[in-house]
Chains A and B, each alone.
Chain A
Amino acid sequence: MSLKSILAVALGILSAIGGFVDIGDIVFNVQAGATFGFQLLWAVVIGVIGIVVYSEMCGRVAAVAKRPVFDLVRERAGFGAGLTTLFASEVVNLMTCAAEVGGVAICLKLLAGLPYRLLIVVAVVALIVCAWRLPFEWIERVFGYLGLCLLVFAVAAIKLHPDWGEVGRGLVPGSHSGASTLVYLYFVVGLLGAAMTPYEVYFYSSGVVEDRWGPKDLRLNRVTAVIGYGLGGFLSFALMITAAMLFLPRGIDPELLGSPALAGGDTLGQIGLLLALVGILFAVGGAAIETCFSGAYNLAQFFGWRWGKFERPVRASRFTLSWLVIFALAMLVVMTGYDPVKLTEYAVIFSVVALPLTYLPILIVANDRTYMGSYTNGRVANAFGIAYLVIILAISVAAIPLMIVTNAGQG
């Protein structure tokens, strides 16, 4: 490998790390840490392995067969089930996008102190300008790299001197204390859902097509998925550990998005607070663009329209108008003043329900020799793929009942 290609791989990994965390991860990891300490770290590990397995798989399918995820959903699930999945995914994408936009506005409010609703408009306009003007890879990079400011939470987690033995025990599921078993299970579902959100595979696979990856890029695909998302998972750890150290002993319920940022400030002073806010701002802003694009990708791939950032808007007009409309709708949703943290919880829990019909077509096509040839799933990919399908089915059935009986984790 030449120095230049090593650099390209490193840059790709960095943007994947920064791009892993979104508002769903922040909300669920921080609340899980504040409620159960380190006891749910194992759920993060399971979730991260799941997204690594399926993003590698959908990236491989997209690179070899040039089929992004919603193309496969339509093809394998047919019109009716495909349309149902499309509807569910659009609702979830819109909710998530709205929550991320709300997150951006909250960060801006904490940084600039202007009125919240004004900042929602500023946030949406800024995001639309970025998404409109920047080429695809620069969107990934700008938001991915600046999202790396979240590493301040890793520094905070270490500086807080957690009992590492206790942290280690959290990596193994076992008995729990802090709240009821149902609340514990609700957080398991939420953490898995936040790590494996369906929009990540919609966006990742469409991105592979946008970047025109082919079979020669499969190593890059594997490295980005495994190392990028794997290390991204460490940021989730850092968030949970920080919350466990700061909020649990003081009985603080971090129901505001600003609370995790304060954790950065509490341990590392003003610069820590600033880095935490900038990190959250760009991680969440990048995710807003990703969710909004995912919505447009899915529509275009279901109906067979021309799509992509690489197409001129006049050519891929329906795709372009779709993402503009999704941003506008997301703005209206947050403008109602509904709490973005609550919106995030609902979005993550509902997204879990859409997971099986998103992941199953990927697994089926990754096993189709006529499409994949020598790049068909091996035994390891299939073993993990099937195991995760079982997990996904279980949590998709449990998600909404758990949300109702625990009053969304309130106990």
Chain B
Amino acid sequence: MTRPTPVDLALGVLDHQLVDADGENCGKVDELELTGLDSASPEVVAILVGGTAWRTRGLLGRIASRFSGNAVHVPWSEVKSVSAVVELKRPAAELRLARGDDRWGKWTAKLPGGG
């Protein structure tokens, strides 16, 4: 077992940039999902990205979440490292992240020189 490292979840993980295995931006850590809060060993099980993940982030988050889709759940086991950014083990597409950029990319590709 590795030695425990102190990490302030609110400051050191939440709202940080997510970067996929190719080094590309793929969203923010919008919310964290924890289990076992009533047990001896609580655990972060997933990162929630986008949409309904904002529901718990204050009044503005609640309003913003009304206008967007479901959050994507990224299991914590997909996290490679935590530094200034949260690095993931796989490319964004495999984790269903950064889909907005891929979707809108079809439109920008049609512009002259946009491909």
Instruction: Give me the interface of A with B, judged by CB distance under 8 Å.
Output: 65-67, 71, 74-75, 78-80, 82-84, 132-133, 300, 302-307, 312-318, 320-321, 371
- The answer for the CA separation of A305 and B27 in the assembled complex, in Å, is 6
Q: Are B101 and A133 closer than 8 Å at their CB atoms?
A: no
Q: Are A321 and B108 in contact (CB under 8 A)?
A: yes
CA distance A361 to B28 in the complex (A): 17
Whether B105 contacts A314 by the Cβ 8 Å rule is yes
CB–CB B54/A133 < 8 A: no
A sample of 23 inter-chain contacts (CB < 8 A) reads A67-B84, A71-B17, A78-B14, A78-B15, A79-B15, A79-B58, A83-B60, A133-B113, A302-B28, A303-B27, A303-B28, A303-B50, A304-B18, A313-B105, A313-B113, A313-B114, A314-B115, A317-B100, A317-B102, A317-B107, A318-B100, A318-B104, A321-B104
CA gap between A66 and B24 in the complex, in Å: 13
Please tell me if the beta carbons of A80 and B105 are within 8 angstroms of each other in the complex.
Answer: no
Q: Is the CB of B57 within 8 A of A78?
A: yes
Chain B residues in 8 Å Cβ range of A320 = 108, 114
Inter-subunit contact A66/B107 (CB<8 Å) = no
Q: Please tell me which one of the listed residues B16, B24, B64, B104 contacts residue A317 in the complex, with CB atoms under 8 A apart.
A: B104
Task: Verify B101–A317 contact, CB threshold 8 A.
Answer: yes
A79 touches B54 (CB 8 A): yes
| B15 A80 Cβ-Cβ under 8 A | no
Given contacts A80-B60, A132-B113, contact A66 B84 (CB under 8 A): yes
A-B Cβ contacts below 8 A, count = 90
Whether B60 and A79, one on each chain, are in contact in the complex, defined by CB atoms closer than 8 angstroms, is yes
Q: Shortest Cβ distance from B39 into chain A, in angstroms?
A: 28
Contact pick for B114, options A79, A82, A84, A314, CB 8 Å: A314
B40 within 8 A of A: no
Count B-side interface residues using an 8 Å CB cutoff: 35
B84 touches A79 (CB 8 A): no
Cβ of B1 within 8 Å of any chain A Cβ, yes or no, is no
Q: What residues of A have a CB within 8 angstroms of the CB of B91 in the complex?
A: none
A56 CA / B8 CA spacing, docked (Å): 28
Chain B 75-115, CB-CB to A under 8 Å as 1, else 0, gives: 00000000010000000000000101111110111010111
Whether B84 lies near A84 (C-beta < 8 A) is no
State which of B18, B26, B60, B111 has its C-beta within 8 Å of the C-beta of A313. B111
- Complex contact A314–B109 (CB within 8 A): yes
Distance to closest chain B CB from A135 (angstroms): 12
Which 3 pairs, one residue from A and one from B, show the smallest C-beta to C-beta distance?
A: A80-B58, A79-B57, A317-B104
Q: Who on chain A is nearest to B63 by CB?
A: A83
Interchain CB contact under 8 A, B101 and A304:
no
Least CB distance, A374 to chain B, in whole angstroms: 16
Contact (Cβ within 8 A) A74 B15: yes
Could you tell me the distance between the alpha carbons of A71 and B61 in the complex, rounded to whole angstroms? 17
A312 touches B30 (CB 8 A): no
CB distance from B13 to the nearest CB of A (A): 10
> Whose C-beta in chain B lies nearest to the C-beta of A75?
B15
Residues from chain A with a CB closer than 8 A to the CB of B98 are 305-306
When distances are taken between beta carbons in the complex, the residues of chain B under 8 Å from A82 are: 15
A243 to chain B, nearest CB (A): 43
Tell me the bound Cα distance from A318 to B18 in angstroms.
17
One of B16, B25, B57, B104 near A75 (C-beta < 8 A): B16
> Does B59 have its Cβ within 8 Å of any Cβ on chain A?
yes
Q: Looking at the assembled complex, report how far the CB atom of B17 sits from the nearest CB atom of chain A, in whole angstroms.
A: 5
Known A305-B25, A314-B108; judge A80-B57 contact (CB<8 A). Answer: yes
B1-55 at interface with A (beta carbon < 8 Å): 14-18, 24-28, 30, 49-50, 54
- With A and B bound together, what is the CA distance between A256 and B111 in angstroms? 37
- A residues less than 8 Å from B58 (CB atoms): 78-80
